[in-house]
Amino acid sequence: MASPVLTFTDQGIYCPAGDFHIDPWRPVPRALITHGHSDHARPGHGSYLATEAALPVIRHRLGPLTAEGIPYGQPRQIGAATVSFHPAGHVPGSAQIRVEVAGEVWVVSGDYKTEADGLAEPFTPVACHAFISECTFGLPVFRWQPQPLIMEQIARWWATNAAEGKTSILGAYSFGKAQRVMAGLPAIGPILTHGAVEDITEILRQQGYPLPQTTRVTAQVSARSHPGALVIAPPSALGSAWISRFAPGDEAFASGWMAVRGIRRRRALGTGFALSDHADWDGLNTTIRATGADRVFVTHGYTAPFRRWLETQGYDAGIVATEFTGDDAAESPEAAP
């Protein structure tokens, strides 16, 4: 039997034919990176290869490094393997990585979502023999409403707060979710951003992504200086002293986990918007069918039940143990207080 195109090691997903790793969590000589979230793009590797669109954020987060950008869809020969990067729809610049060795094709999904959000490059399914898929939301309970409906809910909440003299404070992950929200909302009032959000927003704006005007929160910025504002901050800022300057305010959280009422209650949030940058149950199943793969490996999320489901559908399914955690530990149910 021929050696598999990809193997699973203590350092991460490894390609013997090309001697490289994909999204490794331990330092390796050569790393191919699907996107710039910190659980996938980690420091310490000898060299990095990512999409041209992903590289500016990766450089911002990791500092000086030996890295090269590659356009979507461009084949690259690495040893005996041919690799290419294809849109994952997760966040700007995110990619699935296609690896072909001796005619056999494997695809590593990274994180992905199938609904176009108007900001990230839209997801494109890639035909393959074996597919390594995330399954963060791999249960039937997770079925997302269309983005326009969620944006309408957020806009209505914001407008109501503004009419009542309150500042709207929205927790959203600083890379991807925050920019998706600001790009998708109507211009109800000023948008203020936490420094972590604004740093990424400035990078993406310079890359040409269509983002509205925002104001970085400094010591001079408050509810009084910007009445009726929407403040977008990382989830960790919710309930902190940092937001006291925006009193009276109303806090909310944008995350796929908000589809589960128990998690929302544990976070002591009255308002939650179920907006995720990951595929839901239907998106996962539609994608796997579209790849034409016979073998499917599932990673971080509800791996055991999703694997059992895939086996009932006739797939040769397995679980890949990884150290991926999702966009942010604060977005996982285990971290929700």
- Tens digits of residue pLDDT in 68-108: 999 999 999 999 999 999 999 999 999 999 999 999 999 99
Q: Percent of the chain at pLDDT above 70?
A: 92
pLDDT value of position 239 = 86
Query: Domain residues for 297?
Result: 7-142+277-331
CB-CB contact of 106 with 132 (8 Å):
yes
**Residue (of 11, 13, 6) closest to 28 by Cα position:** 11
The DSSP result for 59-82, as a single string, is HHHH-S--EEEE-TT--EEETTEE
Looking at residues 101-116, what average pLDDT do you find?
97
Residue 252 falls inside a structural domain: yes
pLDDT value of position 264 = 59
Give the CATH number, domain containing residue 324. Answer: 3.60.15.10
Residue that wins the pLDDT comparison between 168 and 224? 168
Strands (E), 167-281: 167-171, 191-193, 215-216, 230-233, 249-254, 271-273
**pTM assigned to the model:** 0.94
pLDDT value of position 265 = 63
The pLDDT of residue 336 is above 70:
no
How many residues are given for the chain? 337
Residue 1 falls inside a structural domain: no
Residue 153 falls inside a structural domain: yes
Here the tokens at position 325 are 């955690």
Residue 325 falls inside a structural domain: yes
155 and 77 co-located in one domain: no
Residue 215 falls inside a structural domain: yes
116 and 167 co-located in one domain: no
- Model confidence at 327, pLDDT cuts 50, 70, 90, reads low
Residue that wins the pLDDT comparison between 151 and 266? 151
Beta pairing class for 230-233 and 191-193 = parallel
The pLDDT of residue 190 is above 70:
yes
97 and 163 co-located in one domain: no
Residue 2 falls inside a structural domain: no
Single-letter amino acid, residue 32: L
Residue 337 falls inside a structural domain: no
pLDDT value of position 34 = 98
pLDDT value of position 322 = 81
pLDDT in tens, 8-39: 999 999 999 999 999 999 999 999 999 999 99
Looking at residues 158-184, what average pLDDT do you find?
97
Given 223, 258, 273, the domain boundary residue is 273
Among 86-100, 205-219, 248-262, 308-322, which stretch is predicted with the lowest mean pLDDT? Answer: 248-262
- Mean pLDDT of all residues in the chain? 92
93 and 215 co-located in one domain: no
Given 223, 248, 273, the domain boundary residue is 273
The pLDDT of residue 238 is above 50:
yes
The pLDDT of residue 2 is above 60:
no
pLDDT value of position 260 = 81
CB-CB contact of 142 with 209 (8 Å):
no
Query: What total of structural domains would you count in the chain?
Result: 2
267 and 159 co-located in one domain: yes
22 and 122 co-located in one domain: yes
40 and 129 co-located in one domain: yes
Looking at residues 194-202, what average pLDDT do you find?
97
Residue 68 falls inside a structural domain: yes
191 and 313 co-located in one domain: no
Given 246, 273, 300, the domain boundary residue is 273
Neighbouring C-beta atoms of residue 39, cutoff 10 Å: 18
Give the CATH number, domain containing residue 222. Answer: 3.40.50.10890
15 and 113 co-located in one domain: yes
Could you give phi then psi for residue 329, rounded to 5 degrees?
Answer: -55, -30
122 and 226 co-located in one domain: no
Count the alpha carbons within 13 Å of 219 in the hemisphere toward its beta carbon. Answer: 0
268 and 192 co-located in one domain: yes
46 and 167 co-located in one domain: no
- Model confidence at 337, pLDDT cuts 50, 70, 90, reads very low
pLDDT value of position 252 = 95
